Amino acid sequence: MDLDHQHRMDHVYRHMKYIYDATRPLFLAGRRTVRGLVQAEAGARVLEVGCGTGRNLIVLARRWPQAQFIGLDISREMISYARERVEQAGLSQRIKLVECELADYTTSTGPEPAPFDVVLFSYSLSMIPDWQQVLQSAIPLVKPGEGKLLIADFGACQAWPGPVQRRLYKNLSLFHVFPRPELPEFLAADRRLSVHETQLLGGYGQVLEVRHKPAATTLEKGPQQ
């Protein structure tokens, strides 16, 4: 585990965790959109990497009562708080929370972890330093066929004035948040994948739906919102 990264995340969220869910809808565009893309019928397995307070998992577990959910987070502060929230919601039997990085989780489950119907990143990749490696580790965890890799995160803000975009990026960096506007191209470069991209609020946010595809990758543009 990257202990330096863990300490940074614990420092950021030590107090913020208590107001996180109340404040984040104001500026994390696409979280509701990406949850709406989750299909988790009976027996489905959903993994969220960087689950934070557990909000997404609680909402999804209530929506899909016969599915199983696993949440990973490197922050002790967030995982401890998420466990309290999950227990209060009465969902401890269906939501498993683990304090670890994705690499630690896949190693602990053996050489071939069981695939997931959904692997979800909701505004977590912008806080993960080795995000490319993490994505490359996540792709094999997605079940072939109908399995999905779903991502919501900050975008390139291409429709915003340059000074505003630069100020936003600078402010985010104070919280160790670094947008990954190159995410769609990075994923589309893998010819095994099909990537559907939706830009939100002039590129402020982006939602990506990724599936395994045997043919050449195409990067489809979704509607502007």
pLDDT digits (tens, 9 = 90+) for 153-196: 999 889 889 998 999 889 888 888 899 999 999 999 998 999 99
Distance CA 38, CA 117 (A): 9
Strand pairing class (148-154; 205-212): antiparallel
- Average pLDDT of the residues in 202-213: 93
Residue 215, pLDDT > 80, answer: no
Here the CATH number for the domain that contains residue 156 is: 3.40.50.150
43: containing domain = 3-221
Check residue 1 and give its pLDDT.
Answer: 61
- Average pLDDT of the residues in 8-32: 71
Residue 225, pLDDT > 60, answer: no
Take residue 109 and report the two structure tokens written for it: 């489950």
Nearest to 66 by CA among 86, 87, 45, 81: 45
Q: Tell me: the pLDDT tens digits for 38-89? A: 999 999 999 999 999 999 999 999 999 999 999 999 989 889 999 999 999 9
- Average pLDDT of the residues in 133-161: 92
Residue 105, pLDDT > 90, answer: no
Check residue 217 and give its pLDDT.
Answer: 44
Task: Look at the chain and report how many structural domains it folds into.
Answer: 1
Report the percentage of the chain scoring pLDDT > 70.
81
Report the percentage of the chain scoring pLDDT > 90.
57
Check residue 23 and give its pLDDT.
Answer: 67
Q: Helix 76-88 to helix 55-63 angle, to the nearest 10 degrees?
A: 30
pTM: 0.85
Check residue 36 and give its pLDDT.
Answer: 95
